[in-house]
Structure 1
Amino acid sequence: MSASLDSTLDPMEEIRFRKKHSAVWAEILKDTHFTFDELEQIMMIFYKIQKRDDRCLGTDLITRSHFRDVLHNGLGMTDAYMMERVMVALDRGTSPHVTMATFVKAMSLYLRGDLEERIQYAFTCYDLLGEGYLRRETMYQLMKKSLAKSSRDDDVEEAVKELVDIMLKRMDPDLDGIINYQDFHDTVVKTPSLLESLGYCLPERPAVFTFIATWCPRWGKM
């Protein structure tokens, strides 16, 4: 038997949790960047979240509000407007809950995701209408929400229009007035700093390092 994953949990409680879900974890593992030992530690975080709501115990669910707490407090993702977009990108459904698989895949993306995954995810966050491309109006709305936090109202309108024009010039090579996924992808591959040009939808690197050091201190020590 492997060592205890969390000293705050009763050993038998942890064993029961492992036995109940180990087969499911093996399936989920294929879609992540985690080793099995790392996945176990992520799942103990999930279990601790579950314990905040007795209605979720015994299921493979946590509430969306508790998941948002993890993103806000654990990973420093504090933009309330963008969090709504993040939830849509991670889980297209309208359920008030987040599944175990969605939680693990989100953690894999945020903690270990490669550029291709992040590009696809960011584009989905920005595609407000689910059309598969970004219109000028969509870009304007996203940038206005972002700039409104740091600028006076009378400064925002003109600044956003100028930024949208700049982004269209950078990301719209065929000059059709919209940015499709391929346009966005190719631009970000060439200039990765433009990945979150329409809003912050990923945790910053320092927040990721802090999260791992705090919640997954045994990573790299197996």
Structure 2
Amino acid sequence: MSASLDSSLDPMEEIRYRKKHGSMWAEIQKDTHFTFDELEQIMVIFFKIQKRDEKPVASDLISRAHFRDVLHTGLGMTDSYMMERVMVALDRGTSPYVTMATFAKAMSLYLRGSLEERINYAFTCYDLLSEGYLRRETMYQLMKKSLAKSSRDDDVEEAVKELVDIMLKRMDIDLDGVINFNDFRESVLKTPSLLESLGYCLPERPAVYSFIATWCPTWKSM
């Protein structure tokens, strides 16, 4: 994130902010993997982001654009196509704003989420039509977007078709021609490296460690 974001807050301003939202944070904290003190630090980051908006809409909202900037520059999530899916997975993607609760839950997922949580999240990112299963056409579209960044157009078509065939053979456990959530979950539990097989929707571990070291240096090691 830009240098302007890590400037210190005025102490009194921060105290007022904590007092104003403390009761709300107590409720939000129940749905995260953070202690209350850790969540306070996450919410101070939220406040610093909010201060970048020239005309904040409400004290518990930040613009989606600024949230995406956090994901991009703070956590190394740079796939613009997948970012649209990320927003859908986090908050249905229907608002130009991100709430405190969504921000906190997203940071909890990215920094400390369990494998089960990540499986649910990744499947939602990949389920483009919200059908509860992944068709061959959906897998093709996702993998083509991913491979197109590093391959020539004339190489992509056949490579993607072959990869989709491989993925279906490996993950379609009930052999019904699609990958439903149970297929996806069982495959990832058996082989965790399959979690982001259809696109990068989570930060890499080095980016997570760097984020924590920069923004939350007092946290205990994970």
TM-score by length of 1: 0.95
User: Does residue 1:138 correspond to 2:138, yes or no?
Assistant: yes
1:8 — aligned with what? 8
CA contact (8 A) 2:87 2:93 kept: no
Name the SS for the 1:98 alignment partner.
Answer: strand
3-state DSSP of counterpart to 2:53? coil
Distance 1:58 1:12 in 2: 20
Aligned to 2:63: 63
Aligned residue number for residue 156 of structure 1: 156
Q: Residue 128 of structure 1 contacts residue 138 of structure 1 at CA under 8 Å; is this kept in 2?
A: yes
Q: In the alignment, which residue of structure 2 is the partner of 1:27?
A: 27
**Residue 164 and residue 9 in structure 1: after superposition, are their counterparts in 2 closer, same or farther (change >3 A)?**
same
Structure 1 residue matching 2:46: 3-state secondary structure: helix
CA distance in 1, matches of 2:141, 2:37: 42
Post-superposition CA distance 1:80-109 (Å, at most 9, x none): 101111011101141100000000000000
In structure 2, the partner of 1:111 is 111
Check whether the contact 2:86–2:125 (CA below 8 A) recurs between aligned residues: yes
Greater Cα shift, 144-153 or 85-94: 85-94
Could you say which residue in structure 2 is the equivalent of 1:48? 48
**Cα distance, 1:175 vs structure 2:** 1.5
Distance in 2 of aligned mates of 1:110 and 1:79: 16
Does the 8 Å contact 1:82/1:201 carry over to 2? yes
Instruction: Determine the C-alpha separation between the residues in 2 that align with 1:127 and 1:54.
Output: 35
Distance of 1:143 and 1:36 partners within structure 2 = 39
Deviation at 1:8, TM superposition (A): 1.1
SS at match of 1:219: coil
- Percent identity reads 83
Amino acid at match of 1:44: V
d(CA) in 2 for partners of 1:206, 1:49 = 23
**Structure 2 unmatched runs, 5+:** 1-5
Question: Is the CA contact (8 Å cut-off) linking 1:64 and 1:98 kept in structure 2?
Answer: yes
In the alignment, which residue of structure 2 is the partner of 1:122? 122
Helix, strand or coil at the partner of 2:203: coil
Tell me, in whole angstroms, the C-alpha distance in 2 between the residues paired with 1:158 and 1:7. Answer: 50
Normalised by the length of structure 2, the TM-score is 0.95
1:76 is aligned to 2:72: no
Match of 1:3 in 2: none
Paired with 1:202 and 1:144, the residues of 2 have a C-alpha distance of 19
Question: After superposition, what is the alpha-carbon deviation per residue over 1:137-191, rounded to whole angstroms, capped at 9, x for unaligned?
Answer: 0000000000000001111000000000000011112211111000000000000
Q: How many residues align?
A: 216
**More deviation, 85-94/128-137:** 85-94
Give the gaps of 5 or more residues in structure 1.
Answer: 1-5
**C-alpha contact 1:50 1:57 (8 A) present in aligned 2:** no
